Structure 1
Amino acid sequence: MSSEPVVIIDDSATQLKILERLANSVGGWTAAKGFGDAEAALSFCRANPPGLLVLAAATAQGEASALIHRLRRLEACAEVPVMVIGADEDLDCLERARDAGAADHLLLPINHRDFRLRVRSLLRSQRARPRGAPEQVRSDPGRADGERRQDGLRQAHEMLLRIIDAIPRMICVTGEDGRYVLVNRQFASFVGVRASRLIGKTPLEAHGGPIARSLMEIDPLLLAGRPAPLSTEDEIVDRDGEPCVLLATKSVFHGDDGEDSMVVTVWLDITERKGAERDLLAAKEQAELANRSKTEFLANMSHETRTPLNAIIGFSQVIAGEMLGPIGTPKYIGYAHDILVSAEHLLGIINDILDLSKLEAGKLDLVEEVIDVPRLMEDLLQLADAKARASEIRVALRYEGTIPALRADARKVKQIVLNLLINAVKFSHPGSEVAIVLRNQSGAVVVDVIDHGIGMDPDEVTLAMTRFGQVASAWTRKHDGTGLGL
């Protein structure tokens, strides 16, 4: 049994008990030691170097990454493996913990078997690690001394400055004391202070304003490992008095020993993008308002137009049927019939427009009833028969299996199938056949309208299914329509 304990730090008492119980069940190792307070845990680790440290990704005392850096500064704990436990919302904390040197992490809720396997693996690797090996000699007698290294560092720093100056973004770096460590030309130009005069000063000392307040409020939280936004949008007024919107994105960097931590902030001016978003939203709202107005207008006009049409249809039926006595002139009967057919056609178009406007307004009601589907299809064939015979096209009705009754809005079903049927007749070649085929598919009624016309490719089908959409071709131009049917 190993003499090195498993130290667990979590300020949730319930979670701490669960982790202790799981660690104790690994077997072959000493009992786990749990702490709700990080300071007490570090004091224990100084006197009792652990074989493994299990940390919560974030506690009220800070993030696991900050605690890892403190642990690494303890000579006896410099190589202790660390496993971090966190939830989905702790992914950023987990990533920073991995960057700080965590060997592994687990997401909540914990898979008990997975936890035991990982703890056992980390403890074995720690036990097998050679201890007290002499430090390798890192100096190279063939190389120049410290002065040459300083020249190399200076050149690298100059190259870094040139790179960040070439980036079309505002960039600044602040240290643990809140003072500027590095800025690029774009940032200095925006705040109106030379870059050389910014270095070594706090944002409030150097220029003040909203940018300074943002840096002074958020950066200390990030450096302390406390929850803070890594991306913000700041609405400010620039040096010319113009309002602008800046998108700030932050990253935290820690030194190898946990010291010299810095926050890098990249600012992007998104004023134009925000303006475009507002314009787009306003245009969308205006278009929706116009569409609603158009829909209401169509609904009102359709109702107003149907009233005189009903009178025209009624009187033309009386005249054509000679209900009040013989007319005496056959030609007048033909005229009355033409008036009736034209009025009914116009009424059908108006009804389509009215239904469309109701659909757009969300006010279309369904009147459900039990429908005898075969009989309804026979009625539709009679309606299309005259047009089909005029085009020398045969229409037929076929069945596949027993067709069950259907509960639906009979008028809407009739309208749907009639549109498909009339389109099939309209675009079929003379001498061909258009058939309505009824199928029973697992208790559902399937209606197929089959023709032998020119057909449509998928893009044309998409166009035909839009409002007033019509496929343009030499064949379709021969047949006028409203584009409302499909």
Structure 2
Amino acid sequence: MQRRQMGISRAWAASERRFRGAVEAAHCGVWDWDIEAGQVMISDYMASLMGIDRSGSLPEEVFMERIHPRYRDAVQHALRQAQTYGSFEVSFPVPDEHGRARWIDARGQARGERGQDGFTSVLGVALDTTEARRAKAQAQSAEGRLRDGIESVSDAFVLFDKSGRLILSNQAFQDAFGFEEGVVRKGAYKQDLNRIAALAIKSEQPAAGGRAGAREVELVDGRWLQLVERFTSDGGSVVSAADITAIKQKEAERQRAVERLHATIAELEDREEKLSLLARKYEVAMTRAEAANQAKSEFLANMSHELRTPLNAINGFSEIMAGELFGPLGHDKYKGYAADILKSGQHLLSLINDILDMAKIEAGKLTLHYEQVSLKELVEDATRLMRGKIEEAGLKLVVDAPELPEIEADHRGLKQVILNLISNAVKFTPEGGDILVSLSRLDDDRVRVAVSDTGIGIAPEDLARLARPFEQVEGQHSKTTQGTGLGLALTKSLIELHGGELVMESEPGRGTTVSFDLPIRRPSETTQAQPLPQVQSRARAA
């Protein structure tokens, strides 16, 4: 009997050694905690895990000192739980040889009979879970970064496994189709989510460009989404949805713009055709008008002698009668009538001369007769002729005519220009005003003649059109002054034929200055006046 018990004991000891060896080979530490004796039996690998320099039996205080102080209470609590209920499970860190935390996962079971105070011994194993914990932390960190990245994009995103269960999604996916809270959750089935999402879809069509796995859907709330589905290597699927509402709106606007453009092009083509027809009609009318105007100008130019000769006779005979050269007329009224005839004839001759000269210029038949001209003598001669009218109008004349070099010009035409400018100044300057006629030299090649008055002035909007033929400015003097409106147009044309330039400066209520620049020497080429003269004008500074 005793020999049999000893055999059983040896067999048990051998079995326990084999068990411990197998556990050690699996990198598991073995420990046996005698709660009642306060001793812990640890294997070689367990001693290595705990950082204890020997295996075997050691006081539990030595064992507990290796555990991080913050986790010692947790180990004691697990030990008490095992003493009461028989199972032991706890995780705690111990410092390794480099001072870093080594995490140990210890599990065990009470042995023997349960006494009045509970179990007295717990046997268990321990695993080094440091690397597992680190890998898990890294995986959690990577998953967190993945989630943050997915949430940061505006596109909806959802990932399903090969069984069609949801693994990962972002808030944009839930918002895109209006899923209720809690519907989109981990493990939800793809077909269930598709059924709910279909309620929010109004229509769908293949994506532009024919991309594989892509389609465009219009939602009932008016938004547009582009859905793209791709499959993973393990049989799962990834679905992304981008909001393309703005793109669709732009496309619709662009289509409307194209339609409007086509309509505009059609309208422009119709207008162009009508304008082309109108232009052809206008061209024909212009050709006829130009021919008529040319014929008129040539007729008037050719009629110069025929119109002037009778008027010269009328003026000559009326002048003889008014002077009673061959004796008294017999009654004073006859003498007055003769004077009126002479005045009217002279005025009519002046108007006809202006019209005929303008016609000659337009017809290109007015020829300048160049000669050496003294501007000082020319101005003095013109002012002498106009002095009577100036005094009769109650105006003051000032002449500033220094000696200047003689210029090459048409004496008659230039005298007519100065007389016209002085005559205009007299017409539009109220009684008591001043008229200034001045000469100046600009440089070695040009001189300037200016006629200034303190008359009624001219508005800026009227300046530009005054030098056009037959143009007059409406005002308080327009009803009391006579003329054809050819004076300034003829003046400008004569100046341009001389190679000069006319400039007007005026301000209503402060007067007008008309000046022109002339070259001292005759231009090398004949200068033609513009058919529709445009005066260079500017408002005078206040």
Given the two structures, how large is their TM-score scaled by the length of structure 2?
0.41
Q: Whose radius of gyration is greater, 1 or 2?
A: 2
Structure holding more strand per residue: 2
Given the two structures, how large is their TM-score scaled by the length of structure 1?
0.45
